[in-house]
Structure formats: C-alpha cells, structure tokens
Amino acid sequence: MKKTLFDKIWDAHVVESIPNGPDILYIDKHLIHEVTSPQAFNELKEREIPVFRPDKIVATADHNTPTENQHLPVKDLLSRKQLKELSQNCEENNITLYGLGHPYNGIVHVMAPELGITQPGMTIVCGDSHTSTHGAFGTIAFGIGTSQVSQVFASQCLLVEKPKKLRVNVNGKLKKGVLPKDVILYIISQIGTNAGTGYFCEYAGNVFEEMSMEGRMTVCNMSIEMGARGGLIAPDETTFEYVKGKEFAPKGDEFDKQVAYWKTLKTDADAEFDKEFNFDAEDIEPMITYGTNPGMGIKITGAIPLEGGKSDAKALAYMGFKPGESLLNKPINWIFIGSCTNSRIEDFREAAKYIKGRQKAENVNALIVPGSRQVASQIKSEGLDKIFEDAGFKLRQPGCSACLAMNDDKIPEGEYCVSTSNRNFEGRQGQGSRTILASPLTAAATAVAGKLVDFTQNLN
C-alpha cells in the first residue's frame, strides 16, 4: 500500500491500536515551558507517578519572560512564580532546563531546532499550539493540552486519533519581496481557518523544496492557523545540511545512518490524500491581514472584501477598517519582528537588508526580539544590531515578547501593530490592540515609511 510521509512516521510510532479507537503513539521528544507544565507536574505529584523518561524532555523559559534586564529578578509575580516552579520541577525530575540566562535559552520552537533536538522522522509534542513548527524537518509535531502533558510525562506515549491527510502544493517562481510568511498567509487566506480541521497537512511543490529550513519553519508554524493539527515537509539535503553539526544531532557514522533512514521519509508516488489544494507561486504577493483571524488576509496592494457576514463586520469594527478599503498609506504605530514564527537569523537579515541606511519613521515604535540567545549572538556577530539601532529600532533580549501579551511587551489599546507573529485575535498583543500580520520585510518597510506601503517598488 502506498504511504504518505505522515503515514510512514505515524505508523513507525504506534505502540498499539485500539480497535475502532485511537492509537497509542510513542513520543520521541517532549518540549515544555513555564506556562503549561506546572499543572501537569502537580497532577503527577498528587497521584505519586514518576516522570517515565526525563531524558526525552527538554525545558525552556519563554512565554512570560521579560525581554529587558533578564539578569534581574522578574517583576511580575505570576511570571516569577511560574519560572520558579519550572526550575524546581525540572530539578526534582532530572529534566534538562535552559532557563533565563542560559546560552541555549530561547523560544521553545526556535531553540530546539537550532540545537539539533528536532530531527526528521520524530514525534514531538509540547503544550503549545505552534509546535507544528518542527514539522519543517519531516516530523510529526503538534501541540497538546495540559492533561496530555501529564500523559506524556507518565508514559512517554499519547492516546490520540490519527488525523486525516491534507496536501497543499505550491509550484512556480515566487515574486520579488515574497517571503515564506507571505506564502502561508496567502494559503490561509485562500482556504480559510477551518480547512485543515481534522487533518495533518503536508506541504509539497518546488516552492517548499527551494525554501530554507527557517522558511519552512515559518510555514509549518502557521499550520494550526488553518485548523490543521500540524504540518510537515519531506526532509531533503537542505534538512540534512541544517541538522548536521548541531549540538545534539547525531555525529559521524550515526549521522550517516540516520540520513539513510531520513531519505526514505517521503510520500510514495500515487499515495492518496483525503484533501488536496494547488496554488501558483506567481499569484502570491506580500500579504497583510485586515481582520481578527489569520484567514482574513489580502495582498498588500489589495482591498478588504466588500462582502462578509456578521463576524466579518465585527472584526472590521474592532480593527477600525471598512469593506472595500485599501490599507496602503494606513499609518502604523508599532512594528514587531519576533515570535516563534519569525525570529530566526534569516528574518533579521531580511529586515536589516531593507533598513540599512534608512531611519524608522517618528510615529513608529519598532521592536526587534530574537527568538533565542543564539540568534541574539548571531545578530551581534553579523553587525545587524548596529543597523537596527542606527535606524532607531529597539533590540530586546530573547522571548515570546509581544506575540501574546503574557509579559511586559504589550501593544497599547487602539494602536496598530504590523507584526510577524502568528495570531491577530482581539487583544492578542494587548487589550484593544490591533494586529496586522505580515512578513519581516513588510514590517521593516512599514517601520521606515510609518505606514503600509507597496515596498516592492523599492527593492533592488
């Protein structure tokens, strides 16, 4: 029987199948952070159940950490409590923690790939919906709830229904100024936020094959925003080259042995999917969102659709926009380049390339937040920090930052933020804040102009 990439990885991890029910799936890596793990640890303590395989768990602090003065005690009491609990729980259970200040600290979906913890063919879970990021390596990775975090702590397995299979194909040549973030925002704008519900998505076509690993992570990161349980891309030479030499990647003969296996991880010709979409790369342009879900997206040169239901009207009222309106020349108060979607070195290189020799507009507050301490070091070693600071941008310390308003970095009520994060829900970046999702290049160009512009005319 012909198998998809997803089938091959899933089937290799099934411990037992319950007739007409879910599978018991073995989990290779369990990533945890300070927000969703404390309740799970408490449940285990109450039931006197030990953590089954602590060496398969890696912890980091990211969600509610400050991005300034990380060497000082955390001011917010809840954040301080959660960080302390994470440290205590990891110590008591012999779990590796990369806490604030550690050279490997960072957003969980940034630090794990850059350390080689994420590898092709794995199953990876985390108490965070954007765990789908790791699918860029040809990995079944998805977010789980707190009760499931307990389940994996206790058994290193998960009771889960096998999702159906979806494939999104994008072929052709991308236009100048179109980044991976634009590709995924375009896909979601075309198929909607529910198209992937009940499915696991494979991305295929030459656009993804030619994309860097960091670009693939951006795409897979937002799979959850189309409703999919996760997304993945077949591993190839780009993947192997990225993993090679990473701190926790296999070395020497073991690496070669793994690559031989990883090369088998591709969808068989004629394997069947339950649903499939096809797009032409030439139709994609730099994208922005205008509403309060990631599916409400348009080309930056486009106009807000004239037709819509009650929810569309509510979203436009919240955002202060009107049907049919073009958002070109719309003044913007903030830009945020960061989050698990776009806080890797390539994102900052793209932004710096545009910003170099320019100044941010006076009406814009510009936040640059690296996804990890390693990315922060790269920014400095490549001299990007000077470009950002000379242009008036604020370079912060690593963390989730303004993506989700769980820390000090919040967008004020009523103000517009062009953000490279993944969600534009009401209040996502702060109560009453108005989020416009976009690529790092669009955010950089907006910061310079002080408004939304068709920056593609300024590209060399």
Q: What is the pLDDT of residues 313-335, one digit of tens each?
A: 999 999 999 999 999 999 999 99
CA angle 161, 166, 171 (to 5 degrees): 155
Does residue 282 form part of some domain? no
- Pair 164, 244 in one domain: yes
Residues 304, 368: one domain? yes
Enter the tokens of residue 209.
């094959």
- Confidence label for 134 from pLDDT (cuts 50, 70 and 90): very high
| 261 within domain boundaries | yes
Place of tokens 């070091």: 377
283 in a structural domain: no
Among 245, 275, 305, identify where a domain stops. 275
Residues 403 and 335 in one domain: yes
Residue 201 marked as a ligand binder = no
Provide mean pLDDT across the span 226-247.
98
Please tell me whether residues 199 and 141 are part of one structural domain.
yes
**List of residues 6+ apart from 97 with CB closer than 8 A:** 59, 60, 61, 86, 87, 90, 91
Query: Do the beta carbons of residue 156 and residue 28 sit within 8 Å?
Result: no
* 302 in the same domain as 195: no
Q: Give residue 458's pLDDT.
A: 79
Domain boundary among 242, 275, 308: 275
**Token pair belonging to 105:** 């600290």
pLDDT value of residue 1:
83
Q: Dig out the tokens for 86 from the structure.
A: 């994470």
Q: Are strands 334-337 and 275-280 parallel, antiparallel or unpaired?
A: unpaired
Which range of residues forms the domain containing residue 96?
A: 5-275
C-alpha torsion angle, residues 367, 371, 372, 378 (rounded to 10): -70
Q: Give, rounded to a whole angstrom, the gap between the first and last alpha carbons of the chain.
A: 49
Instruction: Tell whether 318 and 450 lie within a shared domain.
Output: yes
- pLDDT level of residue 459 (50, 70, 90 thresholds): confident
Q: Are 244 and 236 in contact (CB under 8 A)?
A: no
Using a 10 angstrom Cβ sphere, with 0-12 exposed, 13-18 middle and 19 or more buried, the burial of residue 411 is: buried
- Mean pLDDT score across all residues of the chain: 97
Phi first, then psi: what are they for 426, rounded to 5°? -55, 125
Is pLDDT of 171 > 90? yes
User: In CATH, what number is assigned to the domain containing residue 316?
Assistant: 3.30.499.10
CB 188 within 8 A of CB 154: no
In the chain, the number of structural domains is 2
Q: Taking each helix axis as running N to C, give the angle between helix 373-381 and helix 345-355, from 0 to 180 degrees, rounded to the nearest 10.
A: 40
CA distances from 137 to 236, 262, 331 (A): 9, 10, 38
Average pLDDT over residues 44-73: 95
Q: Are residues 252 and 322 in the same domain?
A: no
Q: Which of 275, 308, 324 is the last residue of a domain?
A: 275
pLDDT given at position 105:
97
CA distance 395 to 137: 29
Q: What is the pLDDT of residue 457?
A: 84
Is 201 a member of any domain? yes
Predicted local distance difference test score (pLDDT) of residue 210: 98
266 and 294 fall within a common domain: no
Confidence (pLDDT) at 308:
86
Is 403 one of the annotated binding-site residues?
A: yes
Q: Give the phi and the psi of residue 378 in degrees, each rounded to 5.
A: -65, -40
Same domain, 46 and 169: yes
C-beta of residue 398 within 8 angstroms of C-beta of residue 375: yes
DSSP state of 161: P
Structural domain includes residue 281 = no
pLDDT at 460 over 80: no
- How far is 392 from 367, CA to CA, in rounded Å? 10
271 and 292, same domain (yes or no): no
- The reply to whether 280 falls in a domain is no
84 and 147 share one domain: yes
Paired residues of 368 in beta bridges: 337, 395
126 is in an annotated binding site: no
Residue 31 CA to residue 132 CA, distance in Å, equals: 12
Residue 149 resides in a domain: yes
Structure-token pair, residue 118: 């994420």
Helix then strand count (H, E) for the chain reads: 15, 19
CA dihedral 397→398→399→402, nearest 10 degrees, is: 60
| Structure confidence by residue, pLDDT tens digits, 88-102 | 999 999 999 999 999
Whether residue 97 is found in the same domain as residue 217: yes
pLDDT tens digits, one per residue of 376-423: 999 999 999 999 999 999 999 999 999 998 889 999 999 999 999 999
**Across 450-458, average pLDDT:** 93
Structure token pair of residue 294: 């990631």
